[in-house]
Structure 1
Amino acid sequence: MNTPFSAPTRRALRTLSLAYFVQATGALSVVGSLDAISRQWGLADSQSAYLISVFGVSFAFAAPLLQVGFGHLRRRRQVLLGLGLFSAAALLFAAAPNYPVLLVSRVLMGLGAGFIGPVLGALGSSLADREHQGSAIAVVLLGLSIAGLVGMPLSAWIAHAWGARVLFLAVGVAGAATATLIAWAVPDSSEGEHVKLSTVTALLTRIDTLSAFLVVFFIAAGVYSTYSFIAPIIRDVFHAGPGTVSTSLVVLGVAGVAGNLFVTRAARRYSAETMLLAGLTLLSADLVLLWLASPSVGWLFVALTAWAFATDLLWPSQQRRIVELVPQLRGVALALTASFVFCGIGLGSAVAGWIYPALGFAGVIGSSLLFLALATASLKISRASGAQERPFDNIVVDRGRARHGGKGSQL
């Protein structure tokens, strides 16, 4: 198999991919184990769904602020710190006596993930030359797809077979083991960034970068407006049980891995914007067909296959576009990207928790389509404004000159 990476680099990228697998499984395992969590602690489905929202909002605020406070640390150290906190919080979840402690543990998991997710892409891309950074990011994000293939269905099965406490105990142990592997396999050569709040503000006040972040915010909200309630939907609409939930997550995972492998190669031929538009179009069409078709488990599996392929077009392409947009600030830019992702997840799951009990399947599908339309509009705004904005590195230089008495213009 032809590969642009050396053997040590491939090993490092695969180890970072494993870290993404652990984070994604721990972060999103609530989706597949919603029923088990509700039974274990005597909660309503909407209360369990808010555990997704709490994680997302915590991550959203933590990711950029952690880069401001600790972004100067080497990126490998940031990942190791994040895995330590994430794993400890998962163990707290496993031991939680009540709902408030569950909420606290999910907040702490969100803080730990705020160190992991945003830095993995930057660390992985730093191991490759510019021409192959898109492929390197896709390799790292393969862990997200494998989380769908193995982690999500396995977590759902563990939760239903042995309970949610055992599931999160396993997540905590896996996180600690992954940290050990990273310390062994990933070079400690990637410098961090001295991130200032003014840099974060600049990224959030420019139209091209803000609208680029909003693309992934609305994508995440659109995906999770439906996905966070996949277990109740399978139960209520398709009249199937926990076994079908696990099988559905396997279908998502298999299609997700295939989609990721396609993206790894397609990234060398197609622009990030082209891939994003293709993914948005495919996902929107798939949701419409899922909505209009008569409910059957066979059709559900077909729709989930297209769903997974579409989302695998979206996630790495968005990260690649951000890296290409502000390569000199990739660390904080990817942190903000991850922040917007999980804020979108929080919004989408919260909307689902409100809409599904009132409007059912049609309501969550409709909200997903609305969010995806907003993502498409944001992409068009970002693309149009990018040609008009000054290069970001010039603004950074100008700000530096202004601080030293120069004539650099301010945002």
Structure 2
Amino acid sequence: MFMGLTIANVIGVPLATWAGEYLGWRASFWGISGLGVVTMAALRLTLPPLPAPAEGNAMAEMRVLTRGTVLRALALTVVGSSAMFTVFTYIVPILRDATHASLGFVTTMLVTYGVGLTVGNWLGGKFADRSVNGTLIVTLAGLSATLVAFAMLMPYAGASAVLIFIWGIASFALVPPLQVRVMTAAADAPNLASAMNIGAFNLGNALGAALGGGVIAADLGYPMVALAGAATSASGLIAVIASVRRANGRGRLAPCTP
């Protein structure tokens, strides 16, 4: 699911932005609606009928949501997603008003960010196979540092272009270790865990957009939007480090470490 999302960002977001600028925002929504209908039809025609597993127990799976380890893993997904969308939701006005970029540059940066997401998703999976917590710590630290740098350098187009690519990598290098963390904490309820993690990602999307919007509404300036994203990422970093230290203090591996 997440790799599809990253690839869609390479094409879909820039195309929707272009359509919104030249054809009006309604054109973007009509296009998305049309693609949704085509996708539903394609799924209906191509997916084979699958019987429900006889051993499935929905109530047993729901009980995993009472576990602290599962809730903490989902909360970290919310934080990681919020750090991304606090800034990305407003990247077009940031580039237009703070960087004074043309529409062509904005579109190119959206493609660049999407490529970064795709690369980051691949790298995150590769390194999560070695260490989930290590990947989370390095990625969250890198994301925080990148957003701080972006806050300082967003008036400069060249620096912004480099940072947007790095930001994209860091944003989705988080996804595989976060997914592993949730799936490991709820190993006996994999279907629910996977669904809840996607829900947590989307909740972070909404909360991050609200945080960034609040900063803008308070007239604190676009650099503060990036700093708010950096602070959100830093809070996730602190949570992971605290989790590792607690686990080490108990003399055993953290539950999420493969």
Q: TM-score range by the shorter chain?
A: 0.7 to 0.9
How far off its partner does 1:204 sit?
Answer: 4.0
SS of corresponding position for 2:101: coil
Cα distance in 2 for residues equivalent to 1:296 and 1:257: 25
Q: Is the 8 A contact 1:212 1:382 kept in 2?
A: no
1:309 match: 169
CA deviation after TM superposition for structure 1 residue 278, in Å: 2.2
After TM superposition, give the deviation of residue 150 of structure 1 in Å.
0.6
Correspondent of 2:18 among 139, 157, 171: 157
Correspondent of 1:297 among 154, 157, 164: 157
Alignment of 1:12-411 (within 5 A): 140-189=1-50, 191=52, 193-196=56-59, 200=62, 202-267=63-128, 269-293=129-153, 295-357=155-217, 358-383=219-244, 384=246
CA–CA separation in structure 1 for the residues paired with 2:111 and 2:51: 35
8 Å contact kept, 1:216–1:318: yes
What is the alpha-carbon distance in structure 1 between the residues aligned to residue 214 and residue 124 of structure 2?
Answer: 34
1:77-100 residue CA offsets vs partner (Å, 9 max, x unmatched): xxxxxxxxxxxxxxxxxxxxxxxx
C-alpha deviation, 1:385, in angstroms: 6.0
Q: What one-letter code is carried by the residue in structure 1 that aligns with 2:235?
A: L
The structure whose Rg is larger is 1
Task: Give the distance between the partners of 1:264 and 1:145, measured in 2 at CA.
Answer: 14
Quick check: 1:284–1:369 contact (8 Å CA) kept in 2?
A: yes
Deviations 1:146-170 (A, max 9, x none): 1211111011111112122222222
Deviations 1:245-271 (A, max 9, x none): 21110111122222333345445x423
- Conserved in 2, the CA contact under 8 Å of 1:153 and 1:246? yes
How many residue pairs match? The answer is 248
Provide the rounded CA distance (Å) in 1 between the counterparts of 2:66 and 2:239: 14
| Structure-2 separation of matches of 1:229 and 1:338 | 22
Alpha carbons 1:326, 1:333 under 8 Å: kept: yes
Aligned to 1:327, the other structure's residue is in SS state coil
| Amino acid of the structure 2 residue aligned with 1:355 | V
Judged with a 3 Å threshold, the aligned counterparts in structure 2 of structure 1 residues 295 and 156 are, in CA distance, closer, same or farther, namely same
Confirm or deny: 8 A CA contact 1:158 1:166 kept in the other structure: yes
Return closer, same or farther for 1:299/1:188 CA change in 2, 3 Å cut-off. Answer: farther
- Aligned residue identity for 2:76: V
Q: Secondary structure at the match of 2:99?
A: coil
Q: Which amino acid aligns with 1:334?
A: S
C-alpha deviation, 1:329, in angstroms: 0.8
Higher relative contact order, chain-length normalized (CA < 8 Å, sep 6+):
2
RMSD, aligned α-carbons: 2.7
Aligned CA distance change for structure 1 residues 264 and 371 (closer, same or farther; 3 Å): closer
The amino acid that maps onto 1:175 is: G
Once the two structures are TM-superposed, the CA of residue 312 in structure 1 deviates from its matched residue by 1.9
CA deviation map 1:271-329 (0-9, x unaligned): 33222222212111111211233621111110011011111211122112212222221
Shift of 1:234: 1.1
- Name the CA distance, whole Å, in 1 between partners of 2:154 and 2:124: 31
Q: 1:328 to 1:205 in 2, by over 3 A?
A: closer
Give ranges in structure 2 of 5+ residues lacking alignment: none
Q: Is there any run of 5+ residues in structure 1 with no aligned partner, and where?
A: 1-139, 392-411
**TM-score normalised by length of structure 2:** 0.84
Partner Cα separation in structure 2 for residue 188 and residue 220 of structure 1: 33
Measure the CA separation in 2 of the matches of 1:351 and 1:312. 20
